[in-house]
Amino acid sequence: GGGKRFVVANTHILYNPRRGDIKLQQVEMTLSNIWEASAQGTKPVVYCGDFNTAPFSPLYSFLANGHLDLDSLCPTLLSGQVAWEAA
């Protein structure tokens, strides 16, 4: 048919709450592959999965907004799970 093509990417990011640095690297690698698969952004993308990150954490904000300021962040706190774990 003449339907439009799009890319669906599903992921499962590392669970370890204290390894936000690894999670960020996994997300970056996935996004890089998605960029290539989407013909450099010309095809729509659905990016889903288990990101093992807390809502509104720095990693969540990066996924939602495409911006992350690493200068003021501790790598272990990127996913927001450490703070959530203690609660």
In this structure, what token pair is assigned to residue 46?
Answer: 């659905």
Q: How far are the Cα atoms of 3, 11, 18, 68, 84 from residue 71, in angstroms, in the given order?
A: 44, 27, 18, 9, 22
* Residues classed as catalytic: 50
